[in-house]
Amino acid sequence: MSSSSTTTTTTRLLMLKASDGVTFEVEEAVATKLGAINNMVEEEGSEDLICLPNVNGKFLGMVLEWCKKHANNNTNSDKGNDEVNKWWDKEFVMDLDQNTLYHLLMAADYLSGTELVDLLTEKVASMIRGKKVEEIRETFKIKSDFLPGQEEEIRKKNSWAFE
Amino acid sequence: MSKPLKTSTDRFTSLPEHVAHEILKFLPLEDISRLSVVSRTCRQVCISMPSLKVNAAPYRYSTTKRTQLMNYVDRLLSLRRGMDSRCLFIDWGLPSTEEEHRVLSWLHNAVVCNFKQLKLILRLKSGSEFTVPPSLLCSTSLESLTVNIGINALLKFPSYYSSINGFSSLKSLTLCGVRIDESFSNWVSICCKFLRKLCLSQIKETKSLVINSSSMHQLFISSTYNNELCHLQVSAETLEYMTLRWEFDDPLTTEHCSFLPPSFKFSCGEELS
């Protein structure tokens, strides 16, 4: 390595501004883990401040935390890092309450963070897998909006899944 | 971005439809069938999911369950006509004649529903045959086809006289772990005129492969274990990538391999075992 200054100039910093005005200063390599930011960087080039009116600070912070972890580990091509990342992801989604999970998923989708969307949707799927109809309704507080008699009919048609 | 499923307050049905579909892609059809009883909105999102995975493996020992799954798939396919259809994945093990007919009817429905990708895994009995249904060739939407019917079953193709126009959109064809006979070369040249990628992996029986294509960009051929292929001829002026993995069991047999245009650069590592 010739000098320390060459390594610092290569990492460009971006300012991301959430809907509630909270700003985050992140390395370009971290923020471009998100497809939407990557597109903006490629299109606008020199713009360093990016406004994200659809995501608030709390969830943007969480999304960026995920990006940072995955961008850092990607620079290391060590196979063991895959395992470390998996563990980290598991912890990341383990205790999310439903409200946070929902907003995080909406933010990840809006920002085109494909890998994060996969992680979060798989978490939601695990809350449905193997569950009874009543349990799914209870978990997500879904109200049945079938017309009278319609539910019986639909239930009969799907009876194979209840046996 | 798709619109929310409806104006609801719960944290599932207020997700945009495409996000809800991302969730469903992790679930087997049995869970999806149950979810469709939760509410009308849930039912709608289950019907409209663009990719369908039919997997009979968990029901290998239960004919009843397999029949119920077949009925469910039939119904799902008939309900989703006219909707955006992406990928149909079918994994059906050792089907009886009746089950094979049902699978064939899904392939026909895949054409009607305009699926873009089709992945077909049929674990057929040794010595049996499976013919690609001619109706599949009429699909104007099918872009990618993958077939795996088991190394001991013969994959046949509809006679090209009856399907003279061939696939109109097929860009990628993958055959993996199948037996094919000499007629494949001719069929692929005549019926897959717009093919950009051909992948032949663990192909048995045929001794000769002659690839003639004016559209192909990528070609992968892997013939290793108990190799029977001994003549390979490739003529494709647009070819950009080619991977060839060819192992010979008997170094005394004469293998022949030729490429057109001759200027095509390739590196070849022959493995003699």
Whole-complex ipTM: 0.88
The pLDDT of residue B259: 64
B33 CA: distance to closest CA in chain A (Å): 6
CB B128 within 8 A of CB B153: yes
Distances in whole angstroms, Cα of residue B201 to Cα of each of B91, B123, B190, B227: 18, 16, 21, 11
Residue A86 contacts B, CB cutoff 8 Å = no
The pLDDT of residue A5: 43
B261 CA: distance to closest CA in chain A (Å): 39
**What's the average model confidence in pLDDT over B63-69?**
92
**Shortest CB distance from B10 goes to which of A121, A141, A160?**
A141
Residue A153 contacts B, CB cutoff 8 Å = no
Q: Prior bond to A53 cis, omega within 30?
A: no
CB pairs under 8 A between A and B: 101
Chain A residues inside the 8 Å CB shell of B26? 121-122, 125-126, 129
Contact B39 A143 (CB under 8 A): yes
Q: Pick the residue from chain B with its C-alpha nearest to A118.
A: B22
Reported as a single tens digit per residue, the pLDDT across B224-245 is 777 788 888 899 989 999 998 8
- What is the residue-averaged pLDDT of chain B? 86
Closest by CA to A158, choosing from B155, B73, B245, is B73
Strands (E), chain A: 13-18, 23-27, 49-52
Chain A residues inside the 8 Å CB shell of B24? 125
Place of tokens 């609801």: B8
Listed in sequence order, the residues at least 6 apart from B101 whose beta carbon sits closer than 8 Å to its beta carbon are: none
Strands (E), chain B: 52-55, 87-93, 117-123, 129-131, 144-148, 154-156, 172-180, 197-205, 208-213, 218-223, 231-236, 241-248, 256-260, 271-272
Per-residue pLDDT band for A58 (boundaries 50, 70, 90) equals very high
Closest by CA to B44, choosing from A154, A110, A5, A90, is A154
Residue A137 contacts B, CB cutoff 8 Å = yes
Residue A99 contacts B, CB cutoff 8 Å = yes
Residue A93 contacts B, CB cutoff 8 Å = no
Chain A residues inside the 8 Å CB shell of B31? 128-131, 161
Distance CA B76, CA B79 (A): 5
pTM recorded for the entire structure: 0.85
Residue A89, exposed/middle/buried by CB under 10 A (0-12, 13-18, 19+)?
buried
Q: Pick the residue from chain B with its C-alpha nearest to A128.
A: B31
Reported as a single tens digit per residue, the pLDDT across B109-152 is 999 999 999 999 998 888 899 999 988 988 999 999 999 998 88
Chain A residues inside the 8 Å CB shell of B10? 140-143
Distance CA B181, CA B186 (A): 10
- Give me A123's structure tokens: 């978490």
A25 phi and psi angles, rounded to 5 deg: -105, 115
Mutate to test the interface with B, among A114, A119, A136, A150 (most CBs of B within 10 A): A136
Contact A109 B43 (CB under 8 A): no
Helix, strand, or coil (residue B76) = helix
Contact B39 A158 (CB under 8 A): no
* CA-based max dimension of chain A: 77
CATH of the domain spanning A13-142: 3.30.710.10
The pLDDT of residue B35: 96
Domain boundaries, chain A: 13-142
Reported as a single tens digit per residue, the pLDDT across A87-124 is 999 999 998 999 999 999 999 999 999 999 999 999 99
A43 CA: distance to closest CA in chain B (Å): 20
The pLDDT of residue A163: 76
Per-residue pLDDT band for B270 (boundaries 50, 70, 90) equals very low
- Give me A158's structure tokens: 């799907």
Contact B37 A158 (CB under 8 A): yes
Say if residue B38's pLDDT is above 80: yes
Q: Cβ of B117: how many Cβ atoms within 10 Å?
A: 18
